[in-house]
Chains A and B, each alone.
Chain A
């Protein structure tokens, strides 16, 4: 918060960029009415949930995403000599508020849900369900991010890999997965399970498929992902190479 102008500008710009992105989809949808049966509101919902989950993950664990810097400079050395858990130390390094993203994601999500409640597609119960899903979604995204970062202990430079597992997959999950061929759907649900963040919850919350147990299933899956990536991270730490001095 030391740099107020920087913070304000960054927030406004982030919000504008993201809204512009959504406007692109909105224009296409407006022209064609729907994408494979998914209305503009529903796509807006997917978009909003993904943005908010990602914002929580990136706010709390900014430097997990930027682990590469620590690996390249050997800065992890200092953290490793402290009597605190490495992951917590890393997460507390650069706490940053992503106000723009919250604003933008929240705005689109509210607009979409408002529309759907008015049209009678969902009831107010969808709101707590959605908030819950945003939480589990953040856990899933964090797990993916942590596992990707851990690969860095072997290959050091991970930004290309992150483009694939984080940026590309997050962008893909902003659209309903039915758009994609089956093999890609399976990848986005099992290997890089970004589908668990918004698509699967949306099928239940917006379309009433399955039952409430889906949310528990997603929670279990999210915790499983978290446990796996934490183990992987522990193992990765033993492979840390530091740098010469």
Chain B
């Protein structure tokens, strides 16, 4: 799946923000103005990664972890305090114009379209700005319009669009010049379930059918789980994880919940009066935790990296006659919560 050509390379990028320390007391304004004291905030502290062509990457982290700052450095908006970014082998800070020609950028929080103009006019301006051939532009808009249902608000001014419509319009705008790489900063923020699903389908098509490289930040773990092959987690300005989702699950190893219902009498090999939850060793390394015992059923937790589900059931079948089992995988959100 992974092709070998690196398309985005970040080498030890850092970004410090300096803000003057605001003085207190008399003449605070003037004293702040002449003060040499600065508070340095290290938003990003030496991040390294390589992204290959055709990758779909989720870039996640809690608020204020440095996600947006990283994206802004990759897209040439912010200059890193130190370190280097290469997009297709070119530094976006030295040759911004030639690099951004190949980038599509969407900031979910803020529209890049012209507020007072109909959607269509915005596309005309963008096509002109990126010097897209009118024929290509028309063709591409046709395709995008089909994928994103743009025609329903084609002539509506951007300020009258709903959030979902605006996001679709913004996505189309970022694709108009056929960029190789898409940077999406929270593209699903504030959208309803249907709108989110539409956008996910669209992004999947772009990645799978058109081979676009996509880097996505989001707080919606479903986005990540459904779209991304690889996740990078940033926290306090440092990458704390970089790998596939499955590896992340394995690494964190949260337990799976089993709810087993018995037919009639069953006997659990623990004291009747002991405090639940209780840990029950099956062998030297393998344990299960009994969470809850009721008249008919019993809830246990077990880590499936250590124990196979069938083994657990085989073991539990000694307790009574099993009629039903229900399993709940750990939520991806809980896993991410652990990484943060």
Interface status of A8 (Cβ within 8 A of chain B): no
Binds A, one of B103-111, B201-209, B280-288, B297-305: B103-111
Most B CB within 10 A of own CB, among A76, A83, A85 = A83
B97 with A239: CB separation less than 8 A: no
Other-chain contact of B76, A80, A85, A244 (Cβ < 8 Å) = A80
Interface status of B327 (Cβ within 8 A of chain A): no
Contacts of B77 in A (CB 8 A): 76-77, 80-81, 240, 242
Write out, one digit per residue, whether chain A residues 210-245 have a CB within 8 A of any chain B CB (1) or not (0): 000000000000000000000000000111111011
A81 with B78: CB separation less than 8 A: no
A84 with B129: CB separation less than 8 A: yes
Interface status of A31 (Cβ within 8 A of chain B): no
Interface status of A4 (Cβ within 8 A of chain B): no
Contacts of B64 in A (CB 8 A): 244
Interface status of B210 (Cβ within 8 A of chain A): no
Interface status of A82 (Cβ within 8 A of chain B): yes
Interface status of B72 (Cβ within 8 A of chain A): yes
Closest to B113 in A: A78
Interface size on B, residues (CB 8 A): 26
Contact residues of A: prevailing secondary structure: loop
- Assuming A81-B105, A83-B129, A84-B129, is B79 touching A240 (CB within 8 A)? yes
Apart from A85-B97, A240-B78, what 20 extra A-B contacts exist at CB < 8 Å? A77-B72, A77-B77, A78-B110, A80-B75, A80-B77, A81-B75, A81-B76, A81-B77, A82-B129, A82-B130, A83-B98, A83-B129, A239-B79, A241-B78, A242-B72, A244-B64, A244-B68, A245-B107, A245-B110, A245-B186
- Could you list some 23 contacts between A and B, CB below 8 A? A76-B77, A77-B110, A80-B75, A81-B76, A81-B105, A81-B112, A82-B129, A83-B98, A83-B101, A85-B97, A237-B79, A238-B79, A238-B93, A239-B79, A240-B78, A241-B78, A242-B69, A242-B77, A242-B78, A244-B64, A244-B68, A245-B107, A245-B185
